[in-house]
Amino acid sequence: MPKQENQEAKEQLAFIKSIMDDSQKVVADNGDGFILWGILIILAGISSFILDQFQLNQFQGWMYLGIVGLGWLYMMTIHRRAKKYSIGNPLTKKIIDSIWTAVLISMTLLGFVGGVSDTIDLDHMNAVMYTVLGTAYFLQGVITGKTWVRNLAFGWWLGSITLFFITGLPATILAVIMMVGLQIIPGIIFNRQWKAQFVED
């Protein structure tokens, strides 16, 4: 009986290890989505600041619509067709994809509906967006066992707290720094990991 229980324990550990190994493979995204959205959000933030300075806020909605539209168009076409993952646990892939899809949809709704209804003012839009974005990083880091990805969430949340209290140029500069350091650079790291694991194989 003890031998049977010992065998079952080993099988369970082997199963857990296989799930973790699959998760490590799934996270090896080529990073294109991270980099693209990072660049687009920086472009949107700078454009919003410029429009505000020249009192052209009536064009803010159209500007965001165009930039976010480009992002979604890319995600639904080129990004979807690209080979980004090794063969891993389909459930793990689905969970991670679902997290990011839900976060992008939430951010899109918050940006447009919150902006149009004046429920969320433009000065603090980034604070709201980055709070949501941190959730995706935290969940992906936990699921894939990558502590550094999980810890990026704390950077987003701490930055968001600051953004709730500042406006104007200082807020724009901080938002850009956060997007470069917490979104684009991790995207580049993912891209290098992907090339190392799959392109060279």
pLDDT tens profile 54-71: 888 788 878 888 998 999
Task: Count CB atoms within 10 A of the CB of residue 124.
Answer: 17
pLDDT for res 60: 80
Nearest Cα to Cα of residue 126 among 111, 148, 145, 147: 111
Residues of the chain with pLDDT under 50: 86-87
pLDDT for res 56: 85
E strand or H helix that includes residue 138: helix 125-144
CA distance linking residue 12 with residue 69, whole number of Å: 45
Residue ranges of alpha helices (H) inside the chain are: 2-26, 32-53, 60-76, 78-81, 90-116, 125-144, 147-163, 168-179, 185-194
* CB of 32 closer than 8 Å to CB of 190: no
pLDDT for res 87: 47
Please state the length of the chain. 201
